[in-house]
Structure 1
Amino acid sequence: MQRTNGIILGIGMGLCIISCEQKGKTEQQEKSVDRLENFVDSVETAVNREANHNWTVLDNRYNKLVSNVEASYDDSKEKAREKYEDLEERYEEAKVEARNKTAKMQEDAERHMSNVESWWERNTARAQQGTRNTMDDIEEGAKDSWEWLEKNTDKLGDDIRARYEKIKSDLEG
């Protein structure tokens, strides 16, 4: 019997046994699953920091990593499924969390913007008469909303950001 590159050949006995050595394959499997896990971890971390992401790009990367995991298991995709089922669930949960955070952010932004716009409408005539309105003049409820909008400007949707910037520009004269 002779062993060559993980294949055992029985020569001269009328027997030929081919056996694949699993050490290299197992390492490739582990690496592909590790890459997928690292990606899911980074998506979860990113969603915790900021909910707005390009999910098309993230989904494409995720699907490629899943394909790599499946390919590393050749025809035993069931084994691959067992390995990354938890990762798939975590990834989908991160997407749902991001959607929920984005929706909440939009609701909060609309509420704060409406509050500031309401204050602005009540006080516009005074501003147009030459009274310079400053942050000190803003009523307490509107001031909290204004501060929230200031703090979250980079996270606002285009519509709310434009409305905010218009009032800010008018306030600055």
Structure 2
Amino acid sequence: MQRTNAILLGLGVGLFMVVSCDQSGNTEQQEQRVDELENFVDSVETAVNREANHNWTVLDRRYNQLVANVESSYQNASQDAREEWNDLEERYEEAKVEARTKTAKMEEDAERHMSNVEAWWESTTANTQRSGQRTLDDIEEGAKDSWEWLEKNTEKLGDNVRSRYEKIKADLEG
């Protein structure tokens, strides 16, 4: 009998804890859902810091799924409980804005460097009949910096700039 009472008392304490957690809007399920959303937002922020060009349709779909999971677990929660995850939405939107800004800057830089190389290429090929390799060795300093930048960022270039770069590179390599 004492053992049964101890088990019932233990169950009562556990039940009380679940009810009291639920009333505060901080259930284990809510915490897990918020943690999943936070991990996703952290991953997006990290990815944007490394490179801005991402498939935002796929990312938004996953983000919206995680938000829906959080919202459903917080359906009956108090406003205070909802504030635990509201800042994650702000962080995600800030990451998207940062990515767009970085992507635009990358495209601007790529166009500037490509234009510099193209201007040098047109000038060089119009004035000389030297071989491609020798011409590559003789790249002027300004064009050389642009060429090196394009070489370093080839994977990140947009299709237009990448194809222009690869055409000049193929011509140089003969």
Aligned ranges 1:21-170 → 2 under 5 Å = 21-23=19-21, 26-76=27-77, 78-79=79-80, 81-126=82-127, 129-132=129-132, 133-170=134-171
**C-alpha distance 77-136 of structure 1, shift in aligned 2 (>3 A):** farther
SS of residue paired to 1:110 = helix
SS of residue paired to 2:27 = helix
Residue 131 of structure 1, CA deviation: 2.9
The 2-side partners of 1:59 and 1:80 are apart by: 24
Question: Which structure has the highest helix share of the two?
Answer: 2
The 1-side partners of 2:40 and 2:136 are apart by: 44
Residue 85 of structure 1, CA deviation: 1.2
Q: CA RMSD in A?
A: 2.2
Aligned length: 157
The 2-side partners of 1:134 and 1:78 are apart by: 68
1:96-122 CA-to-partner distances (Å, cap 9, x unmatched) read 000000000000000000000000000
Residue 79 of structure 1, CA deviation: 4.7
The 2-side partners of 1:80 and 1:46 are apart by: 29
Maintained 8 Å contact 1:73/1:79: no
> Which residue of structure 1 aligns with residue 5 of structure 2?
none
The 2-side partners of 1:79 and 1:32 are apart by: 16
TM-score, length of structure 2 as denominator length: 0.82
1:118-169 CA-to-partner distances (Å, cap 9, x unmatched) read 0000011356x35333432100000000000000000000000000000000
Maintained 8 Å contact 1:70/1:80: no
> Which residue of structure 1 aligns with residue 3 of structure 2?
none
1:32-68 CA-to-partner distances (Å, cap 9, x unmatched) read 0000000000000000001000001101111110111
Maintained 8 Å contact 2:74/2:82: no
Maintained 8 Å contact 1:69/1:80: no
